[in-house]
């Protein structure tokens, strides 16, 4: 759809993609280890997907969770599919740390700290490498 910001090419770095999904690094929210899994087609709700695509989606989420855990050693993983503003299916997969700017609240609450966080070049390279290794087969 022409007015959907996920239907036009993302300005965020693409870490991995295939014909159905892409994974981008959300590097503009002052949060380390925040990835977004986006369906390439414009579909609103998970239950509109075929069982095969749902199954692929959850397999990818599971792999992202494990990769984020290995690289960032977070306190907790947060997963969410909201889409109230952008009803094009996407998942927020977020490493949470006790010293991040929102912990223990959700990242959609008001920040309780105001520190600066960003992914290192090494972390981004590891993300790409591990996604390729685990999803390209």
Stretch that binds a copy of itself, among 21-29, 31-39, 96-104, 113-121 (CB under 8 A): 96-104
Does residue 81 touch a copy of itself according to CB under 8 A?
Answer: yes
For residue 63, the minimal CB distance to a copy of itself (Å) is 8
For residue 57, the minimal CB distance to a copy of itself (Å) is 9
For residue 130, the minimal CB distance to a copy of itself (Å) is 14
DSSP string, 15-65: EEE-SSEEEEE--SSS-SSEEEEEESS----GGGS-HHHHHHHHHHHHHHH
Site residues (vs a copy of itself, CB under 8 A): 44-47, 54, 58, 61-62, 65-66, 69, 75-85, 87, 96, 103-106, 108-110
């Amino acid at each position: 759809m022409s007015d959907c910001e996920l239907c036009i090419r993302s300005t965020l770095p693409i870490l991995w993609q295939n014909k159905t999904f892409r994974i981008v690094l959300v590097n503009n929210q002052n949060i380390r280890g925040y990835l977004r899994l986006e369906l390439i087609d414009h579909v609103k709700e998970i239950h509109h997907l075929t069982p095969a695509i749902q199954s692929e989606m959850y397999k990818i989420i599971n792999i992202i969770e494990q990769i984020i855990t290995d690289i960032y050693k977070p306190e907790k993983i947060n997963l969410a599919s909201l889409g109230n503003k952008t009803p094009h299916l996407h998942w927020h997969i977020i490493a949470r740390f006790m010293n991040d700017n929102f912990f223990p609240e959700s990242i959609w609450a008001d920040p309780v700290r105001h520190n600066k966080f960003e992914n290192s070049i090494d972390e981004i390279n590891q993300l790409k490498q591990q996604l390729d290794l685990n999803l390209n087969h």
